[in-house]
Amino acid sequence: MKSKLTSLLLVLFIANFHAQNSFILMPKNWFKSYKTTSLSMQNQSNKHDLNTKQKLDSTAYLVWQKNEQNFVFSNKDTFIYNEVFNITNYQTYRWDNIASQWVNETQTINSYDQDQNLIEIIYKDWVNNTWQYQTKLNFTYNTSNKLTQIDYYEWQNNAWEYTAKKEMIYTSEELLENETYFLKNYNSVTEDWTPDYKIDYSYNTDGQQTLSQSYIWDDLKKIWNNNEKITATYSSNLLQDEVTTIWDNDLAEWLNVYRSVYTYDHNGFIIEIDGMSWESSTSSWQYETQTILVRDTSNNIISSTDLYWQNGAWVNDYKIENIYDNTYSLDDLILPQDVNDWQFFDQINSYFQHMLVKQTSFNWDESLNQWQSNDQKELFYTSDDNITASIKLNDNDLKIYPNPFEAQLHLILPDFVSEANFILSDITGKVVYQQTLNNTNDIPLKHLSYGIYFYQVIGKNWFKKGRLLKS
């Protein structure tokens, strides 16, 4: 007898299946409500034009070591794109301090149809030195390429078990009107689907979402019960206010819970978000949190500061500082945009206009009355279509040739790397060859089939990866 999935699955559905690490370190208080991510083809244009753009290929996460007073590696993400630069492989790693090397952690494999709609996501975890299936999502679209259904599977007993699904309905204007979540009912003989959670959406005449109302299914009474409601108001097409209310069954009425108020500069970019909680004793909104955004002359966010309200004053809490390469505008970049890779992609212009290369976060130390480093994220890009993802944390480079190769590779490590691990994978992510490297190396690969392979060379505090072709 199988039980229903836990609420974690529900959260996964509501969040549109975002991956473990969102691309950008978001201020803690941004966007209390979840938004449906568009599966648009914004990365697609003329193939020649795409090859001249800078595509995000990897991100490195570092954490601040207070005793050593420096940043050390913690995690890393890598992205592999297809010929029109949609993500086909997203992989995460953790830094092993003892072994001084990157260790596989998770892997996400994406597949697309002929219209470049995302049709499948497979999630894997690195367990006992091998990739093991965990979950799978399949996507269905209508003739307008609107997402109409997401099917959720779990890997059980060496097979995919169909366990949950989400169905979407659209208005005549192709706006999302309703999404309903179902769980497989294993208690019945027919193993039918049981409704679990539903969200209805309403819009104004400009197509802006003004209301999202959620319901929870009562399986005993076979009815939908009110759950939560988020009401949004706009002025001059800019979101001004969002109010969250919850349904109280005992009182049979909606109760205020949380409110977000947005402030903009003269260019229409967000510069402040005030979060308020409802005080029932005074029947009024009370300040709770605040996010202050500072922008440069190009409207890039150079810092975002979170504060909380205490004893009638704002107190520092958390801060993020961003560094950009203004040589490249947002239009020059190829960025992850799938539902599992990029959160809030449809609002990215609200965040920055140029190439983001580094983010550093800080926590406020009340005892010292100053900001203390917390963690850091470095972003790496490449414009070379033949090298899918190369991350150079040092200027010294790796020599690996020939490419294409026939029987063997010749590899020379940078002078500062005395030893490294060479890992070669096929296009499915399967490791086909590994070798420990020392300075100059000949790597025999005659046994491999013709095709494309991806290599990783991992040394202490250094990493390099790319694509190879066996001819």
| pLDDT > 50? residue 469 | yes
Share of the chain above pLDDT 70, in %: 79
CATH 2.40.128.720 in the chain: give the residue spans: 7-201+209-215+323-391
Q: How far apart are CA 213 and CA 169, in angstroms?
A: 15
CA-wise closest residue to 54 among 455, 380, 465, 393: 380
| pLDDT > 60? residue 347 | no
| 159 DSSP assignment | E
Q: Which amino acid makes up residue 335?
A: L
Give the least confident one: 170-174, 227-231, 282-286, 415-419. Answer: 415-419
pLDDT tens-digit readout, 239-248: 999 999 999 9
Give the least confident one: 15-24, 183-192, 343-352, 431-440. Answer: 15-24
pLDDT of residue 224: 97
Give the global pTM. Answer: 0.71
pLDDT of residue 43: 42
pLDDT of residue 66: 83
Work out the pLDDT band at 337, boundaries 50, 70, 90: low
Q: How far apart are CA 25 and CA 320, in angstroms?
A: 8
Q: How far apart are CA 324 and CA 134, in angstroms?
A: 36
> What CATH class has 7-201+209-215+323-391?
mainly beta
The sheet with strand 462-470 has its strands ordered as 431-437, 420-425, 451-459, 462-470
Q: Phi/psi of residue 11, each to 5°? A: -60, -40
| Number of other CB atoms surrounding residue 282 within 10 Å | 8
Residue 369's alpha-carbon distances to 317, 318, 364, 372, in angstroms, are 11, 13, 7, 10
Tokens 């009474």 locate to: 221
The answer to whether the bond into 404 is cis (omega within 30° of 0) is: yes
pLDDT of residue 187: 65
* Residues 6+ positions from 127 with CB-CB distance below 8 Å: none
Give the least confident one: 57-66, 121-130, 288-297. Answer: 57-66
Reading the block at residue 277, the tokens are 């909680």
Work out the pLDDT band at 256, boundaries 50, 70, 90: very high
| pLDDT > 90? residue 157 | yes
Question: What CATH number was assigned to the domain covering residues 393-471?
Answer: 2.60.40.3080
Work out the pLDDT band at 352, boundaries 50, 70, 90: confident
| 421 DSSP assignment | E
pLDDT of residue 190: 64
CATH 2.60.40.3080 in the chain: give the residue spans: 393-471
pLDDT of residue 48: 36
CA 176 to the chain's CA centroid? 22
Reading the block at residue 118, the tokens are 């995302």
Mean pLDDT calculated for residue range 120-142 = 95
pLDDT of residue 50: 46
pLDDT tens-digit readout, 113-125: 888 888 999 999 9
Reading the block at residue 433, the tokens are 């060859």
Can you say whether the dihedral through the CA atoms of 24, 300, 87, 37 is positive or negative? Answer: positive
Residue 93's alpha-carbon distances to 37, 89, 274, 345, in angstroms, are 25, 13, 36, 24
| pLDDT > 70? residue 253 | yes
Q: Annotate 340-376 with b (16+ C-beta within 10 A) or e (fewer).
A: bbbbbbeebebbbbbbbeebbbbbbeeeeeebebbbb
pLDDT tens-digit readout, 33-81: 323 332 333 344 333 344 467 888 888 889 988 887 888 889 998 888 8
Work out the pLDDT band at 221, boundaries 50, 70, 90: very high
CA-wise closest residue to 347 among 99, 68, 31, 71: 31
- What's the burial of 206, exposed, middle or buried (CB within 10 Å: 0-12/13-18/19+)? exposed
Mean pLDDT calculated for residue range 230-237 = 92
pLDDT of residue 10: 29
pLDDT of residue 464: 74
Q: How far apart are CA 212 and CA 36, in angstroms?
A: 11
Q: Annotate 386-407 with b (16+ C-beta within 10 A) or e (fewer).
A: eebbbbebeeeebebeeeebee
Q: How far apart are CA 266 and CA 417, in angstroms?
A: 51
The answer to whether the bond into 402 is cis (omega within 30° of 0) is: yes
Q: How far apart are CA 463 and CA 392, in angstroms?
A: 7
pLDDT of residue 191: 67
Q: How far apart are CA 222 and CA 438, in angstroms?
A: 67
> Is the CB of residue 404 less than 8 Å from the CB of residue 470?
yes
CA-wise closest residue to 103 among 81, 73, 69, 79: 73
Work out the pLDDT band at 189, boundaries 50, 70, 90: low
Mean pLDDT calculated for residue range 101-122 = 91
Q: How far apart are CA 23 and CA 347, in angstroms?
A: 13
Average pLDDT, the chain: 80
| pLDDT > 90? residue 200 | yes
Rg (CA), the chain: 25
Q: How far apart are CA 123 and CA 132, in angstroms?
A: 9
pLDDT tens-digit readout, 428-438: 566 788 888 88
